[in-house]
Amino acid sequence: MGDIGGLLPMILIFVVIFFFMIRPQMKKQKQEKQFSANLKKGDKVVTKSGMHGKVIDFSEKLDAVILETGAGKITFDKSSISLEMSQKLNAPKDDKKK
């Protein structure tokens, strides 16, 4: 009985770390994977480095996306497309100013 009492704090620490750190990270990775799988031609996206562009084609061989930017066509890995920044770019604008 004494051994269980001594292990209880360690078990609680692991449970807290799992639910507050590991699980949300796994959920975010799943969302990003689904986002990159659902990209289609014409989508406006932002890369993690801040490059804005529009998807014009895909390279399945390289697992890459070809973006049209102000500088021309550039190829990026699908993993370099930012979910959060792309969602902010495509969010409806609130034109109501008070």
Whether the per-residue pLDDT at 5 is higher than 80: the answer is: no
Contact call for residues 48 and 82 (beta carbons, < 8 A): yes
In angstroms, the CA 67 to CA 65 distance is 6
pTM for the predicted model, two decimal places: 0.69
pLDDT at position 79 over 60: yes
Task: Output the pLDDT for position 98.
Answer: 47
pLDDT at residue 75 in the model: 93
CA distance to 34, 45, 47, 70, per residue, from 82 (Å) = 12, 8, 5, 19
pLDDT average, residue stretch 39-55: 93
